[in-house]
Amino acid sequence: MHDFVGQTAIVTGGTRGIGKGIAESFLKAGARVIVTYSSNDAAAAQFKQDNSEFAENIDIQKCDVSKYADVEKFFEHIDKQYEGFEILVNNAGIRKDAVLAMMRESEWHDVLNVNLSGIFYMSKFAVMSLMQRRYGRIINITSPSGKFGFEGQANYAAAKAGIVALTKSLAKEVARRGITVNCVSPGFIATDLIQDLPDELRGSYIAQIPLKRFGKPEEVAACVLFLASQEASYVTGSTVEVTGGL
């Protein structure tokens, strides 16, 4: 296990699902963790309760990453409360699936705003701070949808492909400052996000996965923690797939 004692990690959408798995893995590895969420106060309270043994290392903040003003306020809080941070995991994401011809304009914009613009806003403020430290790790969560495209996911796939391009560009911009920027691409991970999949579709997806099962948040977290570690110093602009071989 990597050692993150003395380091601070920000995990967006860290109160549920994959983000929760990532935040909990950082806590177990000794990091201070600042988790954000958008609206589900009950899940945030549950996160706090589940991780009460790490209470002094947890800061939970409501911050809608799709709103520039929220993100600006969030980083004002970080500047006021902490001497800095080393790690940003841009994990927050939503799905609003519909075939393109039937997709509402709002479904297009909502998904692009949270999944792609949110990463731009968070990274913009984060790099200003990380550049001063001349050290940093940014990990963005993309999806196989951005690589292959899936029916009904033109908005989600476009956002996730955009994340890969943003990651590669930013990696080049900040490499000289000791900051690495990478993506992790989880396959089907058992979380609320894919709970609505009909059984038939779920079965057909599992049949296509060489490991014949959906993944777990902690399996994605293991990869995120490697990329966030000092040992991953020569990895940047990359996408690591955690897909069971999909």
The token pair that represents 206 in the structure block: 């599992």
Q: Does 13 bind ligand NAP (CB under 6 A)?
A: yes
Tokens 């999909």 map to which residue? 246
For the bound state, the minimum distance from the C-beta of residue 6 to ligand NAP, rounded and expressed in Å, comes to 26
Window contacting ligand NAP (CB under 6 A); options: 30-38, 53-61, 164-172, 226-234: 30-38
Q: Hey, which residues between 139 and 158 contact ligand NAP (CB under 6 A)?
A: 141, 143
d(CA 22, CA 35): 10
Element (H, E) at 210: none
**Which residue from 61, 66, 167, 236 is in contact with ligand NAP, where contact means CB under 6 A?**
66
By C-beta, is 39 or 52 nearer to ligand NAP? 39
d(CA 239, CA 226): 13
Which positions from 70 to 109 touch ligand NAP by CB under 6 A, shown as an x/- string? ---------------------xxxx---------------
Q: Does 16 bind ligand NAP (CB under 6 A)?
A: yes
For the bound state, the minimum distance from the C-beta of residue 28 to ligand NAP, rounded and expressed in Å, comes to 18
Q: Could you list the active site residues?
A: 156
Concatenating the DSSP letter of every residue in 62-101 gives: E--TT-HHHHHHHHHHHHHH-S--SEEEE---------GG
By C-beta, is 94 or 209 nearer to ligand NAP? 94
d(CA 133, CA 166): 22
Q: Does 171 bind ligand NAP (CB under 6 A)?
A: no
Q: Does 229 bind ligand NAP (CB under 6 A)?
A: no
Phi/psi for 68 (5° steps) reads: -55, -45
By C-beta, is 131 or 209 nearer to ligand NAP? 209
By C-beta, is 180 or 191 nearer to ligand NAP? 191
Confirm if 122 and 116 have CB atoms less than 8 A apart: no
Q: Which of 224, 219, 222 is nearest to 244 (CA)?
A: 219
Say which residues have a Cβ less than 8 Å from residue 150's Cβ, sequence separation at least 6.
156, 157
Rule CB under 6 A: which residues touch ligand NAP? 12-13, 15-19, 36-40, 43, 64-66, 91-94, 114, 141, 143, 186, 188-189, 191-194
